[in-house]
Structure 1
Amino acid sequence: MQFSLFQPLPYFAPELPTGWPQSPSKFAPRYGLDSVRHNLEIIEAADEGGFDYIAVAEHHYAARQLCPSPTLAAALISQRVKNAKLAILGVDLPLHNPVQVAEELAMLDTFSGGNLLVGLFRGTPNEYATYGHNPGESKAMFEEGVELLLSAWSEPEPFGWEGVHYRHRMVSIWPQPVQRPRPPVLVSGNSPASAEFAAKHRLKIGLSFMPVEFIPKAVTGYHEAAERHGWKPGPEDVLWRGFAHVAETDEKAKEVAKKYNFGDLHGILAPTERQAPSFLSVVSEAMEAGFGGAFSGGGGAVQTPTPQPILGSPDTVVERLRAVQEAGVGIADLILSSDALPPEVVLEAVNLMCKDVIPAFR
């Protein structure tokens, strides 16, 4: 199994803003600069210690993730890492022009020496309050956008595109990606429909925050869909994302998680009192448009329990990750940071991962 450090690029400060969106007045340049330094220290430790990927993702208006532009963040990180590959996991594609995204990612693939893994997603529901996009159209926009982006990377001659949501008289991007036929691309596999879409286009899948007991059903559904489309995925085509904290003992890991509320998945979606009415309206529309829900392996998506973070000593974490691997996962994309967790605690956990956990899988 390979390992990816998903670094959300949190804002480390003594007093953290709450709710979403977060007030710009709460941003202190001093702590912003400190946060950049701390995040780069964590990334460099992971790179030197044996992580296979360093991953970032697009999110807006929040201290938890200072990364509205994952392509820009990955470009900066590429100048600091020497061993790991870059993973953008991912771009919220319906919020952007897919041709421009294809150009920027191709440029990054070229400048990084062909070391890029690309994740394309619809984004969390709150993102549709960011730029005023219609969440009800996001699924159709996403699927057409993926097809347009893949065509921009594969068509040998300039071409036009007349779709439902995107129209371009001319598409002819330079540079092309250096990875041929294209960089590996990953999309969500958390529902039967998304797994079917991935299989149709021979893409990898990501299972975000899915409890381990649900993973085999999702993987089986993905494999069955791929078989219908004439190919067979391997473990390297399945990525699982979850929170993890490694400490010297199980007790210490649990104490840290409790003290800093580590692994809280929904905090970023909690609106301020002022923003609650309009925000909840957008989220409601987004959920009706098909966001959320995990793979049931049957005829539709079902809501799964909130996943618990992987916590414990190195031995315990190895045991927990073995279960993830045996469920069919080839890449573990682990979140070891949060805005509330002190950077020195994160760095200690990263070092323990590199020293005692990752070697157990080599």
Structure 2
Amino acid sequence: MRSRRSEGGVPSFCCFNPMPWPNVDRKPSKWPYPNHHFNAASGHLLYRSYIDQLVFAEQCGFDWIGIAEDHFTAYSIIPNPNILISVLSQLTSRVKLAILGLPIPLLNPIRVAEEVAMLDVLSNGRVVAGFIRGVPQNYAAYNFSPDESRARFSEASELIKKAWTSPDVFSWKGDYYNYPTVSLWPRPIQTPHPPLIYSANSLESATLAAKHRVTIAAIHLYSRNAIEIMRTSIDAYKRQARSDGWDPPADRFFIGVQVCIAQSNQQAEDLFTPALDYQFGILSGTFNEQKRELAKNSSYGYTPIEENPPTYKERMANKIIISGDPKAVIEQIKDLEEQLGVGTISLQFQVGNMKNQDVLNGMSLFRDQVLPAFRSTPRETVLSMKR
């Protein structure tokens, strides 16, 4: 597979933050997470530090910043990413603001269309909208049947696009949604509408995305064979695109990896290992009987990776994380780009309970020693470094 670099391009970089809760002392015995672990005063400070990280990402030369959505879990304290995107739209001026992503089968599609359009106007046309089906426990949280997720996703996405692009009042009567009159106020700045991202976690999703010529993304690499799964999805996308008569550029492919950049490879391993253990052993380690049944009885299937998560060394060997000193990280990013030919690489510095200062140090090393290997230092970054 040709990489974008071999075609004379450079990757775009996204800084992604799932905003995990860092103070759970042990793995809960069942899902959902009991919320007695949450402390409102600490939560206020945590939101502030996470927002500051993403604002700092713009100063570090990132092209995008991204957040996602989750429910009933300490893995992420973002039940509504649109609220935080509205805050970030006023604290940044250049970066794309990526919502990665909105589980539209669970949401009111007209409300999604309205909120994303409003965010696009607030940010002066910088919003990227990621649409996903969601995971089985999200359906349990909202008491929806996951078996309808694909059909709901398809109809909701078409309804949202029509709401964004129609200059006139229209009606919608579908299999799942019925709106006698729709007239969107405001309409988005970007035309015909904000860029869309679909999930790349299945061949069906990749094929659907290709039919609509939208970007596919995997923002987490969990399983040991995640790189191969992503390559298979990209190949399926390309086959569909070429059968439809077009050749997809690299910017249609987006990959996300967890990362730790430090002064030495050993320091990165020492920082990264406990953060990964916390995330996968505590925050996402509650794959108990309830979640197992949710997966088994839905169209998602059963993936037991959470019950036997890879070690740090296994993750490095399978290239599903990026870790080390700046020189090592540069080579790992180039290798990932070469393997998959992706146009956008998302780096998740905030992993589990990693300390804020260690995250900021890694982002600074990215700015000063990693990013220059991929392109000239942006003027915005130079100015921010002088302040």
Instruction: Calculate the TM-score normalised by the size of structure 2.
Output: 0.83
The one-letter code matched in structure 2 to 1:346 is V
Q: 1:75 to 1:334 in 2, by over 3 A?
A: same
Given candidates 329, 333, 336, the residue that maps to 2:342 is 329
Given candidates 219, 233, 237, the residue that maps to 1:218 is 233
The corresponding residue for 2:154 is 143
In the alignment, structure 1 residue 95 sits paired with structure 2 residue 106: yes
Give the whole-Å Cα distance in 2 for the aligned partners of 1:266 and 1:173: 44
Give the whole-Å Cα distance in 2 for the aligned partners of 1:282 and 1:318: 40
Q: 1:114 to 1:266 in 2, by over 3 A?
A: farther
List per-residue Cα deviations over 1:177-232 (Å, max 9, x = no partner). Answer: 11001111010123221111111112111134454445444323212211222333
Given candidates 258, 272, 275, the residue that maps to 1:257 is 272
In the alignment, structure 1 residue 6 sits paired with structure 2 residue 16: yes
Q: 1:41 to 1:84 in 2, by over 3 A?
A: same
Give the whole-Å Cα distance in 1 for the aligned partners of 2:219 and 2:64: 16
The corresponding residue for 1:128 is 139
Give the whole-Å Cα distance in 2 for the aligned partners of 1:341 and 1:87: 23
In the alignment, structure 1 residue 200 sits paired with structure 2 residue 211: yes
List per-residue Cα deviations over 1:134-184 (Å, max 9, x = no partner). Answer: 111111111111111111112232221121111111122111111001111
Given candidates 238, 256, 261, the residue that maps to 2:253 is 238
Given candidates 268, 282, 295, the residue that maps to 2:294 is 282
Given candidates 180, 187, 204, the residue that maps to 2:191 is 180
The corresponding residue for 2:169 is 158
Instruction: Calculate the TM-score normalised by the size of structure 1.
Output: 0.88
Q: 1:334 to 1:37 in 2, by over 3 A?
A: same
The corresponding residue for 2:358 is 345
- Percent identity between the aligned chains? 32
Aligned-residue offset at 1:267: 5.0
Q: 1:291 to 1:73 in 2, by over 3 A?
A: farther
The one-letter code matched in structure 1 to 2:110 is V
**Bigger mean CA deviation after superposition, 94-103 or 255-264:** 255-264
The corresponding residue for 2:6 is none
Contact 2:278/2:353 (<8 A) preserved: no
Give the whole-Å Cα distance in 2 for the aligned partners of 1:174 and 1:266: 45
Give the whole-Å Cα distance in 2 for the aligned partners of 1:169 and 1:262: 51
Give the whole-Å Cα distance in 1 for the aligned partners of 2:265 and 2:162: 49
Contact 2:253/2:342 (<8 A) preserved: yes
The one-letter code matched in structure 1 to 2:79 is P
List per-residue Cα deviations over 1:207-265 (Å, max 9, x = no partner). Answer: 34454445444323212211222333211111001111111111111111222325955
Give the whole-Å Cα distance in 2 for the aligned partners of 1:147 and 1:291: 29
Aligned-residue offset at 1:55: 0.3
Give the whole-Å Cα distance in 1 for the aligned partners of 2:55 and 2:199: 28
List per-residue Cα deviations over 1:70-111 (Å, max 9, x = no partner). Answer: 111111111222331200011011110111101100110011
The one-letter code matched in structure 2 to 1:243 is Q
- Count the aligned residue pairs: 347
Contact 2:131/2:196 (<8 A) preserved: yes
The corresponding residue for 1:79 is 90
Contact 1:5/1:336 (<8 A) preserved: yes
Given candidates 71, 75, 79, the residue that maps to 1:64 is 75
SS in 2 for 1:233: coil
SS in 2 for 1:282: helix
Given candidates 251, 263, 266, the residue that maps to 1:248 is 263
Contact 1:126/1:269 (<8 A) preserved: no
Contact 1:9/1:39 (<8 A) preserved: yes
Contact 1:63/1:339 (<8 A) preserved: no
